[in-house]
Amino acid sequence: MPLPPPRSVRPLRAKAAFAALALVSISSVSSLSLAAPTAADKKAADALFKEGREHVDTGDYAVACAKFLASYKLDPLSSTLLNLADCHQRAGQTATAYDRFQEAVALAKKLGRADREKTARDRLEALEPKLTKVEVRLAEQDKSQATVTRDGAPLSREELAGPVRVDPGPHTFFVTAPGKKSFSTTVTATDEGKTYTVDVPALAAEGDEPEAPPKVGGKAPSKDTTSNESPGSGRKTVALIVGGAGLVIAGVGGYFGIRTFSKWSDSESRCDASGCDREGIDLASDAKTSGFISTIGLAAGGAIFATGVILYLTAPGKTDKPARSTYLLPSGGPGSLGLVTGGTF
């Protein structure tokens, strides 16, 4: 089923709801169970799908994508997966959309739907030159031991071998290695079709003077060095930020959990032994969507909070030597502009 081309959206206009939705999309939808759905599952999935289409028509892509994902979880149809991918592209989440279209190709091929496989391949081909990418370049001596995360998710050796696609917006990279000071930088990657590069300096041994900040986009950095601080102070700051973000996300999950119980209660009041009326079905559908978002929010929030606690507890102690360097970098090229912030801790 051919899908209409997505309307143009500004890459950074997505609101807080998209941050939560991005967490939901961390896990590949292709990993969801393909067990045969029940009749009730199919009915609820169809209602969620229709609601998703309505939200697409009004430009409320955060809600639309959540509806499509919840529908696909109940009844994994290739048409639903195509609409989910299309929704992410409309929202400006080009990397996530690309991943979903790839999964749609595999699913359509498995189901023998050549028409939908072609649709997904055509969309991939059109999306490829629009992808925003970031390449992290480690110093040669750190490549074998360094661990790199992007927005809290670890990057594999394969992903570190070259540019990786990202959704437009800010992305925080955190580099650690045994016995070395950690390094952190945030890249605001906003330009369509551009590859941003971050050259990570050689990680200094604990207690050593910090290396110069990395080169990003070929621009010279401005540097502000703070002396006589604990080498773990910067890492503890990052830990507090990460932990706080985890609590906020868990709070969102808790809100949707309360909303789930409320919707279920309202739905039950619209049902009897013979079934539910239309409003009861809609309320049940909303309850399932809220429950799904609540589960993801609580799980992701708890994991991120735990990461913050670990970073805080493992931060090194005080030293008399300077241990922290922060900087702000302009990044750009012909017709493009961005900022990169970062530092060594």
Together in a domain, 23 and 87 = yes
In a domain, 11, yes or no: no
One domain for residues 72 and 107: yes
Longest Cα–Cα distance of the chain, Å, equals 76
Residue 247 is predicted with a pLDDT of: 77
What is the domain range of residue 58? 16-130
Residues in contact with 99: Cβ distance below 8 Å, sequence separation at least 6, in sequence order: 25, 28
pLDDT at residue 234 is higher than 70 = no
* Amino acid making up residue 103: E
Check residue 225 and give its pLDDT. 41
Task: Tell me, yes or no, whether 110 and 253 share the same domain.
Answer: no
Check residue 272 and give its pLDDT. Answer: 62
Which of residues 130, 164, 183 is at a domain's end?
A: 130
Q: How many CB atoms lie within 10 A of CB 14?
A: 20
User: Is 4 domain-assigned?
Assistant: no
- At residue 321, the pLDDT reads 46
Of 91, 110, 130, the last residue of a domain is 130
**Which is higher by pLDDT, 105 or 261?**
105
Does 263 have pLDDT greater than 50? yes
For residue 115, count other CB atoms closer than 10 A to its CB: 11
Residue 255 has a pLDDT of 79
Instruction: Encode pLDDT of 53-87 as tens digits.
Output: 999 999 999 999 999 999 999 999 999 999 999 99
116: which residues sit within 8 A by CB, 6+ positions away? 1, 78, 79, 82, 104, 108
- Residue among 342, 327, 324 nearest 231 (CA): 324
Predicted local confidence at residue 36, as pLDDT: 85
Q: Please check whether residues 191 and 240 belong to one and the same domain.
A: no
Looking at the structure, do residues 156 and 206 belong to the same domain, yes or no?
Answer: yes
Q: What pLDDT score does 17 carry?
A: 46
Asked whether residue 254 is domain-assigned, the answer is yes
Lowest mean pLDDT among 11-20, 176-185, 275-284: 11-20
Answer yes or no: do 120 and 173 share one domain: no
328 lies in the same domain as 182? yes
62 and 35 share a domain? yes
| pLDDT over 70 percentage in the chain | 61
Specify if 65 maps to a domain: yes
pLDDT at 117: 97
Q: Structural domain tally of the chain?
A: 3
163 and 270 co-located in one domain: no
Looking at per-residue confidence, does 286 or 43 come out higher?
43
How far is the C-alpha of 34 from the C-alpha of 74, rounded, in Å? 9
In a domain, residue 1? The reply is no
Q: Pick from 326, 315, 321, 343: which is nearest to 207 by CA?
A: 321
pLDDT, residue 71, reads 97
What pLDDT, in 10s, does the model give residues 270-299? 776 566 667 767 767 776 776 678 677 677
- Domain of 93: which CATH number? 1.25.40.10
pLDDT computed for residue 250 by the predictor: 72
Residues 42 and 54 in one domain: yes
| pLDDT tens, residue by residue, 291-323 | 678 677 677 767 777 676 676 667 666 544 444
- Four-residue CA torsion sign, 256, 261, 267, 273: positive
Task: Tell whether 10 is covered by a domain.
Answer: no
